[in-house]
Chains A and B, each alone.
Chain A
């Protein structure tokens, strides 16, 4: 009986040496004439254990990690193929506390299956949502999605069902589904993980969106920084097309839907939905004023659903298990699960999918295990480069869109970046302004000019030139950017800047006073 060994092909694992491990393993298998095959799976998201090798034994899967190429010989000597004991043995990967505490709905298959094997996908519950959707009318599908309470996981949190319904009702000879895979926020990688680890779930979600709204063509707009996601997606799309999951007659039905991957060109602002549409059309990625909404006039002026990767990838399970099943997870108006990304200076960094409602402190201290450097946690930035910095005093905030908003923060794409006590918050505030200046599309003045002036003002503050006046000026600039910018880039840059200023005022005091305070 051929033994299956799993070595991830996810880029996080590759960055830690997974290809070398796979190569060493293949060489040893050949040399020792072992009856074993290697499957390149996705990541389970426990990056401090990557590359994590798993072997399928008669008693279930057994994990080892973090494995380096030099460990392969010893692992085989220790009886890797039978799940033998070794210093790197982790036992059943699903019993590792970080994994066991999750509620994996969207990421149910990630790290388990071969990402580009459609048979594997179906064997693990794939395509059931699509098959159910084919039995319903478009309005019934939209109702299911609406009833599930799913809100856009890209950051804005707009109800997905309402968006779909607008496109369903819009008139147009052609409609589009656009997947926003321009995951540019620092501290986020859940889109990347799902595209590399379970691309069929996204393909299935987009096909369902097409059937629900009458769209026949889909585009995945992928950032150029994700070459491995592009490879996995293209392999999966080809496989889906060959098997009739995509094409003129989806699974033998009368519905047509096909899709392609388009690669961006390194502009953060293209993560904003209207800038993304302009970029797809072949223009500069500049933000459009709304209205008209993309649902009415989107790609090439046609009605368009534009959703984030995770939003679309959450649809198959809703269509499989029903709206109520999904809605029963979560709190308040934040329903279902959210893939939380624990990153930066954190001991147990990775992806943690859970129902909304856990507190920030639980996530950072219990799940994340505090900092990687072992020093005290001082600040966490939630929601990407435009998200607020929270101090420990706000660690009781539950993970919920409204609860974060009430404390002048945002969940965004649910990335948490942890900083220890060596962080300089003035420097972080300056970086936020600088990032906005580099990435501004230039269309509106508050963002384009405000961010440049913001950098200068914070530089004067750092140089101790009339500090009180600079604080006043930066506050005023933030106010103008927040209310005057066309999109979230300029509009949200005040979150990191003002939260740093509000919660860590000691870092913004003149230098002699800072020393005295320490």
Chain B
């Protein structure tokens, strides 16, 4: 068991170091490295933090402080799909709150939660720049405007397949 743990740790370190090697030549490399690590693992694993800190000559607390400051970085991988729903004013003005309630009901989860079957993670986002096509959402990077009951149903069907 312990051996397996050590091996997993070594694996995280090796993959993290590969990301670091590619990006550490940049000016101000920490955010690009964290984006790279998140792309590699689907999250920023705890065990990656000391590796990054060591490579950039920072304290672990400093790296942790940066990771926890930004909304985008996850400590656990998200579900297979990520649904971001805009919660800002323009979307509110077009009934965004009601659509948000409906989607939470249909998906059976609240914001910041992942469905038990791991199918989808629901996140709030404050503006996708689609304010003239409100209410809006982004599903796995694909933008969706003028959300209504029909589109909500389509989204739910898509994440469940």
Contacts and interface: CB of A to CB of B under 8 A. Distances in A.
B54 to A, nearest CB: 15
Interface stretch (B6-14, B133-141, B152-160): B133-141
B55 interface: no
Nearest to A196: B129
Interface string A188-204: 11011000000000000
Interface in B35-60: 35, 56
B66 A14 contact: no
A438 B125 CA distance: 11
B23 to A, nearest CB: 11
B128 interface: yes
A15 B73 CA distance: 25
A9 to B, nearest CB: 12
Interface in A417-446: 417-420, 423, 428, 431, 435, 438-439, 441
Interface in B125-152: 125-134, 136, 138, 141-146
A184 interface: yes
A307 interface: no
Interface in A237-296: 262-268, 279-285
B90 A343 contact: yes
Interface residues of B, number: 41
A265 B34 CA distance: 9
Given A11-B130, A12-B133, A282 B28 contact: yes
B88 interface: yes
Given A186-B89, A281-B28, A372-B94, A346 B127 contact: no
A315 B55 CA distance: 40
B130 A189 contact: yes
A267 B31 contact: no
B89 A16 contact: no
Interface stretch (A99-107, A117-125, A220-228): A220-228
Contacts of A415: 90, 131
B21 interface: no
B27 A345 contact: no
Nearest to A442: B69
B66 A381 contact: no
Nearest to B137: A15
Given A225-B125, A265-B35, A381-B89, A15 B145 contact: yes
A423 B69 CA distance: 33
Contact of B130 (A12, A346, A385): A12
Contacts of A47: 132-133
A262 B129 contact: no
A15 B72 contact: no
Contacts of B144: 15
Contacts, number: 150
A227 B141 contact: yes
A282 B30 CA distance: 5
Secondary structure of the A side of the interface?
Answer: mixed
B27 to A, nearest CB: 7
B108 interface: no
Nearest to B124: A438
Given A11-B143, A265-B73, A423-B93, A226 B129 contact: yes
B138 to A, nearest CB: 8
Given A225-B125, A350-B132, A417-B131, A262 B31 contact: yes
B133 A50 contact: yes
B131 A188 contact: yes
Contact of B131 (A189, A191, A431): A189
Contacts of B92: 428, 431
B127 A186 contact: yes
A189 B129 contact: yes
A187 B65 CA distance: 31
B70 A187 contact: no
Interface string A32-57: 00000000000000011010000000
Given A184-B126, A185-B127, A346-B132, A262 B72 contact: no
Interface string A458-490: 000000000000000000000000000000000
Given A282-B31, A431-B89, A12 B145 contact: yes
A441 B90 CA distance: 24
B118 interface: no
A495 to B, nearest CB: 13
Contacts of A50: 133
A300 interface: yes
B66 A15 contact: no
A349 B129 contact: no
A183 interface: yes
7 interchain residue pairs of minimum CB distance: A282-B30, A349-B132, A15-B145, A186-B88, A265-B70, A343-B131, A266-B71
12 contacts: A11-B128, A12-B130, A14-B142, A184-B127, A186-B90, A282-B30, A343-B90, A345-B93, A345-B94, A345-B134, A417-B93, A439-B126
Given A15-B133, A266-B72, A428-B92, 20 more contacts: A11-B143, A14-B142, A185-B127, A186-B89, A225-B128, A225-B129, A228-B143, A263-B31, A263-B32, A281-B28, A282-B56, A341-B131, A342-B132, A344-B91, A349-B131, A417-B89, A431-B89, A431-B92, A435-B126, A438-B126
Interface of B: 27-32, 34-35, 56, 65-66, 69-73, 88-94, 125-134, 136, 138, 141-146
Interface of A: 11-12, 14-16, 47-48, 50, 183-189, 191-192, 224-228, 262-268, 279-285, 300, 341-346, 349-351, 372, 381, 385, 415, 417-420, 423, 428, 431, 435, 438-439, 441
